[in-house]
Amino acid sequence: MTDADIDAAVEGAHIPSLLVAIAHLTGNADHLRDFDRPVYEFFGDGQGNLPPEQQARARSLAAEEMRAHRDRGAKLPPRPPEAAIRACMDFIAGADIPEPYVPFLTEELALDGPEARELRVAIDAPAAAKADFPVVVIGAGMSGLLMGLSLVQAGLPFTIVEANADVGGTWLANQYPGVRVDTPNHLYSYSFADDHAWPKLYSTGDVLHGYFAKVADSHGLREHIRFNTRVEAATWDAAASVWRVRLSSGETLTARAVVSAVGQLNVPKYPELPGVGDFAGPAFHSARWDHGVNLTGKRVAVIGTGASAFQFVPEIAGDVGHLSVFQRTPPWLGPTPDYHDAVPAATQWLIDHVPFYANWWRFWLFWMLTDGILGAVTRDAEWSGEGAISAVNDELRQALTGYIASQVEDRPDLLSKLIPAYPPGAKRMLRDNGVWIGALKRPNVDLIDEPVARIVPEGVELASGRVVGADVLIYGTGFHASDFLVPMTVTGEGGRDLHATWDGDARAYLGMTMPGFPNFFTIYGPNTNIVVNGSIIFFSECSVTYILGALKLLIEADAKAMTPKQDVHDAFNTRVDAANAEMAWGSPGVSSWYKSKSGRVSQNWPFALVDYWNATRAPDPADFELR
């Protein structure tokens, strides 16, 4: 830590994180009284609008304390008192954090170190009882690995069945050009295994795959995984109180519990258009990208303008001869100028050298993407304006409309095609740094918003009868998100079939358990997707904690089976449906992958993150029938 290092680092610091991290160097938060509390704006720079004079003062104070810390031999004073930590939380959030959030955020802040965040649920039972409780986990993606490593910690035998040849799930399957995460990476990481060495603020798919592979290796998970194997059917054997899990290899595993971690976005969806399959040239889905097909100089047609197409279109636009992008509904774009940026050197230096800077920065990312934004996507019954669901949602709409308009001042013909008619938040908003519209403005790119009638051997036929010729066809048409757990067959008590029970409208209690399907759990199951707030890894961590708590209940009570009570399950789903109807994504008339065929929102969690955290600390035995 030379003085020059320190000075360079504070220049590039996130000022609110820097200011609160000082508390750990001094042992108190008294200095915060000398600064205005940050005030954040929609899509601001995140520095909290502190006046330049205060920012300069913050930097010099931090530099001074860092030098003093170094000169003391880098010994930290005792941890600041709880009141000081609380003052830091309120300061960095720019708000008095409501009391119910404090325990939840305190855990997220992890001042006791990453070990304390590990998902340990100790099961108090003799080794023989644990050995007699084999678990099958389906899928070795982000959630399945998490389940696996917590089963290692709990000391239960388990097998993970993985259809692919490697771990990583979505980050293995999606290898289209430009694939990357759209949640800040210092948040999109396990709470206990953030190696803080992300090269980019939003990493590309290969880096994410490497991260999950590293977690699998460092926790010895690969030896538990059956690769290249599918679960075809899981059947509850009531006489033996076990699941019989039939694999594509022909083998049948016996398990006391089954945990599905297959996610919501793993089965590619091709459009329901006549002629799909008739195209004469190469055709593939974004999640099955055919890297053997050379696009250079070709006429390429892309169907869809969702999150996947949004990422690969700018990557291929410069190589192809001509690109026709078929859009049914435009996406809202969230301004993110640093979306493709490397982690700045100053940020990395501060993460590496300043105690707790990383924790606070993650905390800030967490808070900014947490429940604060829910208000902007919640319906106001009094509101009657078009294209928005409340005054604040309309304010967001105006800001986002202005943002899109600013990018097409030179191409006014594109403006009406690019402004969504639906309220912000009704579909996934996409992080944008300008490359999408930049690609659409290229002379070799057409954005076609006339409806597609059918696919024909020579290209794409429009409703008008015009055929747009193409050499290669790429489907960016998403996934069968609401068809949870297809194509597996799951048969529960009394021979009841899970898909028949759901009848196209998947429901679960807290997204994890279903009446009639004992000891069967789903991670990222029905109604656990989040649209605007937070990282899905957080949700998986909550689910795994809860599921492990359920296994603990079963084993410690020496019970054979647990299923949620039907009335508990139904009441929960009634609450979920009522709340989803109040959210932007519940807007009638807006189609999205968040809804089932019946139009019910079967994917999304409509409540606050803190509500899921509270609900999943441990299962309440009163919610279950334990036998």
x/- string (CB under 6 A) for ligand NAP, residues 275-294? -----------x--------
Strand, coil or helix: what is 410? coil
Distance CA 507, CA 320 (A): 44
Residue 339 sits in the site that holds ligand NAP (CB under 6 A): no
Residue 409: other Cβ atoms inside 10 A: 8
Structure tokens at 536: 């899905």
Of 476, 516, 518, 619, the residue at the interface with ligand NAP (CB under 6 A) is 476
Supply the DSSP symbol for 408: -
Of 141, 334, 420, 478, the residue at the interface with ligand NAP (CB under 6 A) is 478
Cβ–Cβ under 8 Å, residues 380 and 395: no
* Span of 177-185, 289-297, 554-562, 575-583 interacting with ligand NAP by CB under 6 A: 177-185
Residue 305 sits in the site that holds ligand NAP (CB under 6 A): yes
Residues of this chain, 375-404, that bind ligand NAP according to CB under 6 A: none
- Give the residue nearest to ligand NAP (CB): 306
* Min separation Cβ 590 and ligand NAP, Å: 9
Closest of 584, 571, 597, 580 to residue 506, by C-alpha: 597
Residue 540 sits in the site that holds ligand NAP (CB under 6 A): no
Of 35, 593, 607, 613, the residue at the interface with ligand NAP (CB under 6 A) is 593
* Min separation Cβ 287 and ligand NAP, Å: 7
Contacts within 8 Å (CB) and 24+ apart, 414-418: 414/440, 414/441, 414/447, 417/327, 417/330, 417/447, 417/449, 418/330, 418/447
Strands annotated E in 472-533? 472-475, 489-491, 520-522
Residue 528 sits in the site that holds ligand NAP (CB under 6 A): no
Strand, coil or helix: what is 554? helix
Residue 234 sits in the site that holds ligand NAP (CB under 6 A): no
* Min separation Cβ 419 and ligand NAP, Å: 14
Closest of 426, 429, 601 to residue 526, by C-alpha: 601
Of 80, 134, 148, 271, the residue at the interface with ligand NAP (CB under 6 A) is 271
Of 192, 326, 366, 484, the residue at the interface with ligand NAP (CB under 6 A) is 326
Residue 274 sits in the site that holds ligand NAP (CB under 6 A): no
* Min separation Cβ 268 and ligand NAP, Å: 8
* Min separation Cβ 504 and ligand NAP, Å: 17
* Min separation Cβ 502 and ligand NAP, Å: 20
Inter-axis angle of helices 15-26 and 82-93, nearest 10: 170
Closest of 560, 563, 525 to residue 544, by C-alpha: 525
Closest of 235, 242, 255 to residue 160, by C-alpha: 255
Residue 313 sits in the site that holds ligand NAP (CB under 6 A): no
x/- string (CB under 6 A) for ligand NAP, residues 409-438? -------------------x----------
Of 76, 267, 273, 610, the residue at the interface with ligand NAP (CB under 6 A) is 273
Residue 564 sits in the site that holds ligand NAP (CB under 6 A): no
Strand, coil or helix: what is 265? coil
Pick 474 or 544: Cβ nearer ligand NAP:
474
What is the phi/psi pair of residue 182, to 5°? Answer: -115, 20
Distance CA 57, CA 554 (A): 57
Residue 370 sits in the site that holds ligand NAP (CB under 6 A): no
Strands annotated E in 68-211? 135-138, 158-161
Residue 369 sits in the site that holds ligand NAP (CB under 6 A): no
Cβ–Cβ under 8 Å, residues 357 and 521: no
* Min separation Cβ 490 and ligand NAP, Å: 24
Cis peptide leading into 51, omega within 30 of 0? no
Q: What share of the chain is helix, strand, coil (3-state, %, to 5)?
A: 40, 15, 45
Pick 329 or 489: Cβ nearer ligand NAP:
329
Residue 591 sits in the site that holds ligand NAP (CB under 6 A): yes
How many binding residues for ligand NAP (CB under 6 A)?
26
Residue 328 sits in the site that holds ligand NAP (CB under 6 A): yes
Of 139, 263, 306, 564, the residue at the interface with ligand NAP (CB under 6 A) is 306
**DSSP class per residue in 510-543:** TTTB-TT-TTEEESS-TT-B-SSSS-HHHHHHHH
Distance CA 583, CA 569 (A): 21
Contact footprint for ligand NAP (CB under 6 A): 180-182, 265, 271, 273, 286, 303-309, 311, 326, 328-329, 428, 452, 476-479, 591, 593
